[in-house]
Structures are given as C-alpha cells and as structure tokens.
Amino acid sequence: MNNQSDLEKTERKTFTLAYRDGLWDLAFACMMIGHGLGLLTDQSLFALVILLGPLLMILGKRYITTPRLGYVRFSTDRKRKLRTIRAITIIVSVLVLALFISVLTGHRPSRALIAPLLTAGITATLLLVAWYIDFKRLYLYALLIGCAVGLNEFVSLQLGGTMYLASGIMTLSVAIILFIRFLRRYPVQDINDPFQENHHAVS
C-alpha cells in the first residue's frame, strides 16, 4: 500500500473527470481548423474561429458541464498548477495569434529564426501542458499541431494548412463523440439536495 501514490491517483481521477465532456478537444479543434482555413484561404477572418474555441469551452463548462457533472474545488496544489497553465496558455496563444496575424498581413519575421523556434516552442509547450494537467489526448494534439507547424514552416504553407485542417477535423470528431457520450452518461441533475427526501435502505 503506497499512500502517496494512491492519493495522487485518486486526485488525478477526480480532476480528469472534467475532461470527459470533450470541450477541451473542441477548443483545440477550433484552433487547428481556424489556423488551417486561415493558411489555406489567406483570410485573417478565420482567426475568429480560433477564438471561438475558448469561448465555447467557457460557456459549455458553465451551462452544460457543471449542471451535469457538478462542482468541485481542487486542492491548493492543483489550483497552483492550473494558474501556471492558464498563464502559459494565454502567453503562447497571444504570441501565436500575433504571429498568425502578422503573417497574413504580410509582416513576416525572418523564417530562419522563427521556423525552428515556433515548431519546437509550440510542441514543447503543449506537451508540457498535457503533462501538467494530466490531459492524455493533448499529447496527440501536441504532436499533430507540431507536425502542422513544422510542415507550414519548413515545407509549404499549403501543406501546413492542410495538416492543420485535417488534424482539426479529426479532433473535432473526437470532441463531438465525447460530447455526445458525456450528454448521455451525465444527464442534468435536478436534485442537489439529497437530504430533502426519503432514502432507500443501505446494506
């Protein structure tokens, strides 16, 4: 019996229950599809699709997930991890978005400098986030996004865009399947005051 390891497993299970709704997957799918469409069509308008992901996730968590899954406040350690991840995600998202817009408006920084930095940086950041928040599917998304960034930077814009779009569609399919399964498995719970009614006997 290893107390610490058991506690960590229990804590991880408590935390990862929140990923079953597929909303994180949806946010990543929007990011990939937005990038893909932006690169393939050369339209900065598709940057809005990237922003749609986090927006849908926030609204979905509040109005769909919480009424079905319930509410939990994690331990201080987990909250510290989440704050760190939120900060990293915001910084990286802003940097990527700025770069994306600068490319579409024709102000591209030196390729030799930015290509390896961007490919390695984005992949490493996403892998780190996946490890930090125990989100296993994010390892795959990190590699797909890393490939798309690499193809875009080292091979061609078209190939990178296609990779983004294909990965996005695949991720979106996963998100939709998870979301439907989540809705079926976790119906809205009207009763959150279980002590108001008579109970069944417990053996």
- Which residues sit at the interface with another protein, rule CB under 8 A? 1, 3, 6-7, 10-11, 13-14, 17, 67-76, 186, 189, 191-195, 199-202
Comparing CB distances to another protein, the nearer of 13 and 83 is 13
Closest CB 7 distance from another protein, rounded Å: 6
Closest CB 14 distance from another protein, rounded Å: 6
Token readout for 51 is: 């922003």
Comparing CB distances to another protein, the nearer of 67 and 121 is 67
Comparing CB distances to another protein, the nearer of 63 and 112 is 63
Comparing CB distances to another protein, the nearer of 132 and 186 is 186
Contact (CB, 8 A) for 28 and 50:
no
Comparing CB distances to another protein, the nearer of 68 and 137 is 68
Comparing CB distances to another protein, the nearer of 3 and 110 is 3
Closest CB 13 distance from another protein, rounded Å: 7
Closest CB 189 distance from another protein, rounded Å: 5
**DSSP-based three-state secondary structure for 198:** coil
DSSP 8-state assignment for residue 87: H
Closest CB 172 distance from another protein, rounded Å: 25
Closest CB 194 distance from another protein, rounded Å: 4
The residue assigned the tokens 């308008």 is: 45
Give the chain's largest Cα–Cα span. Answer: 71
What number of CA atoms fall less than 13 Å from residue 197's CA on the CB side?
A: 6
The residue assigned the tokens 């992949």 is: 123
Distance CA 133, CA 82 (A): 7
What number of CA atoms fall less than 13 Å from residue 23's CA on the CB side?
A: 21
Task: Give the list of residues 6+ apart from residue 70 with CB closer than 8 angstroms, or none.
Answer: 189, 192
Which of these, 190, 184, 176, lies nearest to 29 by C-alpha position?
176
